[in-house]
Structure 1
Amino acid sequence: MNICVVGTGYVGLVTGAVFADLGNDVICVDNVKEKIDMLNSGIMPIYEPGLKELVNHNMEDGRLIFSTDLNDGVMRSEVIFIAVGTPPKENGETDLSHVQHVARGIARSIERYKIIVNKSTVPVGTGDMVREIIERNKRRDVDFDVVSNPEFLREGSAIRDTLYPDRIIIGAPSQHVAMTLLELYASLERPMLITDVHSAEMIKYASNSFLAMKISFINAIANICEKAGADVTQVVKGMGYDKRIGSNFMNPGLGFGGSCFPKDVDSLIHIARKFGTKATLFESIVEINKYRAQHFINLIKEKMDPMAGKQFGILGLAFKPNTDDIREAKSLEIIKLLLAEKAIIKAYDPAAMENCKKIFPDIEYCKSSYDAAEGSDALLIVTEWNEFKLLNMEKIIAVMKKPVIFDGRNIYRPERKKRLGFEYYSIGR
């Protein structure tokens, strides 16, 4: 099948590469020439395990090309995926200007029947908006259909999530249109659900907001555990055995960040208000998450006040492991709060330091975890990279000024660290 993917961010680039690997002819289009030039040179604009190899392999085999020419992409394709950014506005509403721009571009170029697929995360009713824009601006009397096909990939495991999704949601105006998408995904042999367009759009927001709710819920429980002397990790284990609850996304810590959960919950709040329904639950999710970085700093302050002049080694800057993405990362809030206390910061992350330098150019960035620990009064675990779980702790304790660890992700067992001679503090324990 001939496919055009508009947008070469996480979703667009991974989607295009995977569809090409499944044997389709794919053209990925982006209006940022520098990004297209990078991709044509084999340089990835994002860090994602396995992506470079997948892209280069399919480029070499001629199934995947990159271009700035949307007209060419539309004309040579049967199915057009819209995978552009949908960032939040200041009021939490989703900014659909990129989607609208692409829809107008498709309208100018469409010359025969096409299926336009919204892959971007968009509010209920966006499919109607895209259809109206194309209908109003098309230059030829041709038919088309608009479909919602939300993505559920996670940064750091995006390729696997695209190849082995829990489910594939196809929101289509008719069974006939849905069959084309079913054919496209058939080789994955994964569960597929056909719905109307509005329901598919809602499934994405409902799913992400529910997962965000689980994170905020367990962090609220962790706060109580800290005061009551309970161990939140044991609480999670006891809850997780209940099949109705499960333990996934029940990891207490610094809360959620990234490009999806924060903006999707905010958008759902705006959608609820738009339709005149109460958003109290969703507002509570946001409120709990907003306070997590300050809660962590308060813990540090309680044990190490005054913080001025003290050196803190930060391990982890990305919002989660296996990505260089720092959007809504808790590290940014923590660094800002530490600097406000006039603390000295040394930071290390396996992938995200270059992105962080753009925001905090004046803090010290280190070559390794051990460099970040050297001479530090305390070590802060901010992102749960696997390599941090495997550190030589005897080497760490030998280079630190004081053997203190504040574990914002609960990656260590308290008794083991205390046995080694560390002063150890974590979340909800």
Structure 2
Amino acid sequence: MAAQRIAVVGAGYVGLTTAACFARLGHRVVCTDIDEAKVAALSRAEVDAHEPGLAELVEQGVREGRLRFVPGIPVELSDVDFVFLAVPTPTGKDGAADLSAVEDVLTRTRDLLPPGCVVVIKSTVPVGTTARARRLLGRSDLAVVANPEFLREGHAVEDFLHPQRVVIGSEDEASAQRVRSLYDGTGAPVVVTGSASAELVKYASNCFLAMKLSYVNTLSELCERVDADIDDVTEGMGLDDRIGSAFLAPGPGWGGSCLPKDTRALLSTSDAMRVDFPLLRATIDTNTRQVRRVVDKVRAAVGGTLAGARIGVLGLTFKAGTDDLRDSPAMTVAHLLTRAGAELTAYDPCVPPDRYSGPMRVVDAAHLVAKGARAIVVLTEWPEFAELDWARMAEEVWQPVIVDTRDLLPAKKVQAAGFRLIVTGKPG
């Protein structure tokens, strides 16, 4: 198709990825953000997000003139075919998604957008938001379409350019097809449906994945009690193509920018509609319990009390491959350990010491967490942790104990170095 004029409001990892990838697909894109310092850096093609391939796409788009960055709500919006909203929708005090940023953008752009422009809601929003946006705009010459994102942090560029599916929701078939044509270069299957269904697909998908994770974390506890091996159990499960192996790896809990927010938002919507959803409520409760179970493991490993115990922490981000600390179960565990009186020294390859200010000490090398530690706890599945010099680590610790919440470390190598290894979902 011919190059379209696209504006993306919001330069977070969703908005920036959307802007850079549409430019890569040949469209003319302007990306806006209220953070003027971020806009200035991006205009110089400086990307600080830890997202493979994104910096290269931004540099290419800026260099070739297909991608521009401007601050605020610019006059350039009066000359575009599509406006994608990719602004934050954080959890409000009541658990529902906070739509104030979405509403603010709609209000401020209402009189600026040209006739025939399609407003595309890329932000994760509750059911009914697209219809509400149409009412808020109050213009019959503008269409509003839901187009939820399914970008995994650490794989966002790959997921945008080679998506498993594209979901488009609108009561206006012509506008839906216009949005669909933007993705022609991806070859992805496309689901075109009503706006409410499209909005719900996003929440339904993330909440189902959260359920799988909560299920396997509870299953891992059962494995420990009956001397079963969670790896063998999940391997047997995953070979059933009705189940699949994805999201069957136990850990300290699920977190990040999507699953905690989306599970709470869907539960809030269900409560508002008077639909009892005990399975989702149990999914959230199980996740809360999981981080406390990790703390209990560490407490038991150091002899029953954490007061004054020096603990080494490997990993702070919510998963490997990203620098995101939002709703990270690793951070939650660390805070609970600190609250119980432990003295923490932590390392994460994407969290430099100057980024964190708090009660634990963050260091710039993994081996430093071992010095004087009564236990080391692995909280994020960074592959490099499996390759550490564990013999050297054993020389530094006060007590050679490791709590591996990710089943990441090579057991024979670590035990040969003299460590007692406690692994989630493995026999005692």
Q: Which amino acid aligns with 1:174?
A: D
Q: Which residue of 1 aligns with 2:68?
A: 65
User: Aligned-pair distance for 1:52?
Assistant: 1.7
Query: Partners in 1 of 2:371 and 2:74 — Cα distance?
Result: 55
Please, which of 31, 55, 64 is the counterpart of residue 52 of structure 1? Answer: 55
Q: Which residue of 1 aligns with 2:381?
A: 384
The DSSP-based 3-state class of the residue aligned with 2:110 is helix
Please, which of 188, 194, 211 is the counterpart of residue 209 of structure 2? Answer: 211
1:295 aligns with 2:293: yes
Query: Partners in 2 of 1:354 and 1:105 — Cα distance?
Result: 39
Percent identity over the alignment? Answer: 36
Q: In structure 1, list runs of 5 or more residues that go unmatched.
A: none
Q: Which amino acid aligns with 2:272?
A: K
Q: Which amino acid aligns with 1:72?
A: V
Which stretch has the larger CA shift, 256-265 or 348-357?
348-357
Query: Partners in 2 of 1:316 and 1:374 — Cα distance?
Result: 16
User: Aligned-pair distance for 1:67?
Assistant: 0.8
Which stretch has the larger CA shift, 326-335 or 408-417?
408-417
- Seen in structure 2, the aligned counterparts of structure 1 residues 280 and 356 have a Cα distance that, compared at 3 Å, is farther
Q: Deviations over 1:343-365 (max 9, x none)?
A: 2211111112458614x2x4222
Q: Trace 1:12-411 onto structure 2 (pairs within 5 A).
A: 12-135=15-138, 143-304=141-302, 305-353=304-352, 357-358=356-357, 360=358, 362-411=359-408
- Seen in structure 2, the aligned counterparts of structure 1 residues 8 and 384 have a Cα distance that, compared at 3 Å, is same
- Structure 1 residue ranges (4+ consecutive) displaced by more than 3 angstroms after TM superposition: 353-356, 413-416
The DSSP-based 3-state class of the residue aligned with 2:111 is helix
Query: Partners in 2 of 1:254 and 1:170 — Cα distance?
Result: 34
Query: Partners in 2 of 1:50 and 1:327 — Cα distance?
Result: 22
Q: Does the aligned pair in 1 maintain the 2:292–2:333 contact within 8 Å?
A: yes
- The number of equivalent residue pairs is 422
User: Aligned-pair distance for 1:12?
Assistant: 0.2
Q: Deviations over 1:130-158 (max 9, x none)?
A: 111111xx6xxx60111111100011111
- Seen in structure 2, the aligned counterparts of structure 1 residues 73 and 228 have a Cα distance that, compared at 3 Å, is farther
- What's the Cα RMSD here? 1.6
Query: Partners in 2 of 1:419 and 1:232 — Cα distance?
Result: 23
The DSSP-based 3-state class of the residue aligned with 1:108 is coil
User: Aligned-pair distance for 1:173?
Assistant: 1.9
Q: TM-score, normalised by structure 1?
A: 0.95
Which stretch has the larger CA shift, 79-88 or 395-404?
395-404
User: Aligned-pair distance for 1:45?
Assistant: 4.6
Query: Partners in 2 of 1:192 and 1:347 — Cα distance?
Result: 44
Which stretch has the larger CA shift, 152-161 or 362-371?
362-371
Q: Does the aligned pair in 1 maintain the 2:79–2:113 contact within 8 Å?
A: no
User: Aligned-pair distance for 1:126?
Assistant: 0.3
The DSSP-based 3-state class of the residue aligned with 1:11 is helix
Query: Partners in 2 of 1:130 and 1:355 — Cα distance?
Result: 41
User: Aligned-pair distance for 1:279?
Assistant: 1.7
Q: Deviations over 1:380-405 (max 9, x none)?
A: 10110121122222222233232211
1:10 aligns with 2:13: yes
Q: TM-score, normalised by structure 2?
A: 0.95
Query: Partners in 1 of 2:16 and 2:354 — Cα distance?
Result: 19
Q: In structure 2, list runs of 5 or more residues that go unmatched.
A: none
Query: Partners in 2 of 1:337 and 1:165 — Cα distance?
Result: 38
User: Aligned-pair distance for 1:333?
Assistant: 1.6
The DSSP-based 3-state class of the residue aligned with 2:69 is strand
